[in-house]
């Protein structure tokens, strides 16, 4: 009692309230700022070309007319699209450019049997469940989610992969659906179809988004 | 006054350390949980692979491949075990369509869309891939093509890791259809003609009046 009456006089009441206010607002603001930074495209490497052990260019290889499935073999049948093993590169590079210094890590991996360690470009948090097969088999094209991969010299992430982004499409799949024979066509734009045509596709593919089913938390957090 | 300032600074410092570190750490821990995602790097195993290779000499459950016709393209013909001359399952139109799609994905880059060996990768300097329309290849049984896809041939690698067994047969069927298309006999022509005029009469009978 004695101490406090000496330390804090009545005029400190205003000061104390002010300090509290500053702490609360400042603290909240600070946390908010941290959160914004944490979610910003900058921290998430959105549209940033990632360094890789081998400067693999989708642009070069797509220009040759190699289908995505030649390398991403399981994209139609499994949740995971697959990253090709060294063997796949060696199908061609056993003969072609087999002295290029850029391909040295590939040859070394081939000779030693040690895996190449690619830097992940997309990586959802572990508490989110994603599945390629369901999207690809229900008329959502690679380009809708990954952008023009066929024009990327080094792969980057086109979309920041916010939850908001998943939900936007799950609320209205008709905005992005395309004919199944155009899934791997990187240049095709779903907007070139009329709204009615796209709604007909949603019907045809049996995309089940009645009663907001696709926005239930357990769809993606299971 | 100094005491008040140091109190303020102390509290601010507390906030910084206690408030933010856990925020990031908890979040990070949930983002990257102690489980392996597909093909994730492992610090536990010496070869850094979380996807473990099958132990040599073992067979995974449900993967005992006993059907020699389907898996090895071997058939018993007149008491001899020979390269299969027939398909292990009936090839329907849907199988042919699938075969075409898979051929275009995995083979056309070298052997060309029509099978003449004019694929883009060959044009960029890969060893010339033979066309399928030579006499030698036209005489080969389906089992031969299945084996080439499965085991590779000379400079060409095995495609067994990329293409499932059934699809290898479908690709084979499509190659044989390609061969047939280049060397259609007069009987083929007559058969197609007969069928199309037949279809015509079925579809538009009134036009013939």
What is the value of ipTM here, to two decimals? 0.84
Q: Min CA distance, A191 vs chain B (Å)?
A: 26
Mean pLDDT for all residues in chain A: 92
Question: Is the distance from CB of B84 to CB of B152 less than 8 angstroms?
Answer: no
Q: What pLDDT shows up at residue A81?
A: 96
A70:B106 CB<8 A? yes
- The per-residue pLDDT for range B14-41, each reduced to its tens digit, is 666 655 555 556 667 788 888 899 999 9
- Using the beta-carbon criterion (under 8 Å), do A126 and B104 form an inter-chain contact? no
Q: Which residues pair with B83 in a beta bridge?
A: B74
Q: Is the pLDDT of residue B13 over 90?
A: no
Q: With an 8 Å Cβ cutoff, is A203 touching chain B?
A: no
* The domain over range B68-198 is classified in CATH as 3.10.510.20: no
**pLDDT at B143 > cutoff 50:** yes
Any B CB within 8 A of A101 CB: no
Write down the pLDDT at residue A39. Answer: 73
Q: What confidence score (pLDDT) does residue B107 get?
A: 97
pLDDT of residue A3: 52
Q: What is the pLDDT of residue B192?
A: 73
Measure in Å the smallest separation between the Cα of B69 and chain A Cα atoms: 25
The pLDDT value given to residue B201: 45
Contacts of A145 (CB under 8 A, 6+ apart): A135, A158, A159
Sign of CA dihedral B61, B51, B31, A170: negative
Contact across the interface for A64 and B121, Cβ inside 8 Å = yes
pTM, rounded to two decimals: 0.90
B1 close to A (CB below 8 A):
no
| Tokens of residue A23, six digits | 């702490």
Cα dist. B114→A62, A99, A133, B133, B177 in Å? 20, 31, 30, 10, 10
| Orientation of helix A12-39 relative to helix B21-31, angle to 10° | 30
What mean pLDDT is predicted for residues B181-199? 74
């Amino acid at each position: 009692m004695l101490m406090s009456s000496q330390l804090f006089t009545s005029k400190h009441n205003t000061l104390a309230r002010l300090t509290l206010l500053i702490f609360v607002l400042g603290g909240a603001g600070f946390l908010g700022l941290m959160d914004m930074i944490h979610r910003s495209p900058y921290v998430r490497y959105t549209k940033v070309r990632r360094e890789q052990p081998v400067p693999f260019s989708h642009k070069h290889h797509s220009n040759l007319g190699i289908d995505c499935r030649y390398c991403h073999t399981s994209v139609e049948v499994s949740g995971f699209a697959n990253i090709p093993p060294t063997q796949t590169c060696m199908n061609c590079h056993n003969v072609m450019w087999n002295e290029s210094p850029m391909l040295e890590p590939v040859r070394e991996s081939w000779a030693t049997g040690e895996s190449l360690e690619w830097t992940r470009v997309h990586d959802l948090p572990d508490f989110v469940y994603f599945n390629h097969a369901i999207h690809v088999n229900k008329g959502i094209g690679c380009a809708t989610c990954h952008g023009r991969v066929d024009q990327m010299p080094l792969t980057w992430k086109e979309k920041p992969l916010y939850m908001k982004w998943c939900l936007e499409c799950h609320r209205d799949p008709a905005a992005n659906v395309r004919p199944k024979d155009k899934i791997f066509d990187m240049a095709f734009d779903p907007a070139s179809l009329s709204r009615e045509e796209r709604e007909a596709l949603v019907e045809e593919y049996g995309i089940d988004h009645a009663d907001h089913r696709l926005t239930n938390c357990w769809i993606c957090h299971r | 006054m100094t005491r008040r300032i140091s109190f303020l600074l102390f509290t601010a410092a507390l906030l910084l350390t206690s408030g933010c570190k856990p925020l990031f750490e908890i979040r990070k821990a949930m983002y990257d949980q102690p489980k392996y995602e597909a093909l994730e790097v492992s610090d536990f195993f010496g070869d850094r692979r979380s996807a473990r290779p099958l132990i040599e000499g073992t067979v995974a459950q449900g993967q005992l491949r006993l059907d020699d016709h389907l898996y090895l393209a071997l058939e018993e013909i007149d008491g001899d075990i020979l390269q299969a001359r027939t398909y292990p399952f009936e090839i329907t139109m849907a199988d042919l369509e699938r075969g075409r799609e898979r051929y275009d994905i995995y083979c056309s880059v070298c052997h060309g869309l029509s099978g003449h060996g004019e694929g883009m990768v060959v044009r960029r300097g890969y060893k010339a891939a033979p066309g399928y329309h030579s006499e030698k290849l036209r005489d080969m049984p389906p089992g031969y093509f299945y084996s080439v896809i499965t085991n590779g041939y000379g400079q060409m690698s095995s495609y067994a890791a990329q293409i499932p067994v059934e699809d290898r047969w479908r690709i084979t069927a499509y190659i044989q259809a390609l061969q047939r298309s280049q060397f259609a006999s007069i009987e083929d022509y007559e058969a197609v003609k007969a069928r199309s005029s037949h279809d015509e009469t079925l579809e538009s009978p009134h036009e013939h009046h």
